[in-house]
Amino acid sequence: MKKATLVCVSLTSILLAGCAVGTPDCGDTDTLSILDQAIEAEVEKYAPQTRRGTPEEFIGILDTYEISNIRTQAYDEDVDSYQCDARVTYTYHDRERSVDFTYRVDTDQSDGEVLVEYQTKMLNPILGYAMGF
């Protein structure tokens, strides 16, 4: 069985160290912000290469995508880590595509950074839209 390709993205938590209560859960704003950053970077990467519409229209994906069906699959109390899944739905030129994906949320114990590791298939529809399929 092929292992899904995972990408690790980190974001320094904006919580003060004294106020932090552990790893943010699957639907926390810090967690979703990291996923949003990954989507935004991918859209901006492919906008100049789009074969359908203009780059400006392509950037419009950022106004219409939605992350939904967020679920906690497991929580490991020993390492304070969440295993999650969700669905991302993109719309471009009246074509809607949804992808279910998994992700993991951890906190770096040395510096308090929030780490989110996600399946790159979450980003696949963006390339599909850019290439016209």
Question: Would you state the pLDDT for residue 2?
Answer: 38
Residue 116 inside a domain? The answer is yes
Q: Is the pLDDT of residue 28 over 60?
A: yes
Provide the residue range defining the domain that includes 41.
Answer: 6-13+24-131
Residue 78 inside a domain? The answer is yes
Residue 126 inside a domain? The answer is yes
Domain count for the chain, please give it: 1
> Using the 8-state DSSP alphabet, how is residue 63 labeled?
H
Residue 75 inside a domain? The answer is yes
Residue 19 inside a domain? The answer is no
Residue 1 inside a domain? The answer is no
**CATH number of the domain within which 40 lies:** 3.10.450
Question: Would you state the pLDDT for residue 109?
Answer: 84
Q: Is the pLDDT of residue 20 over 60?
A: no
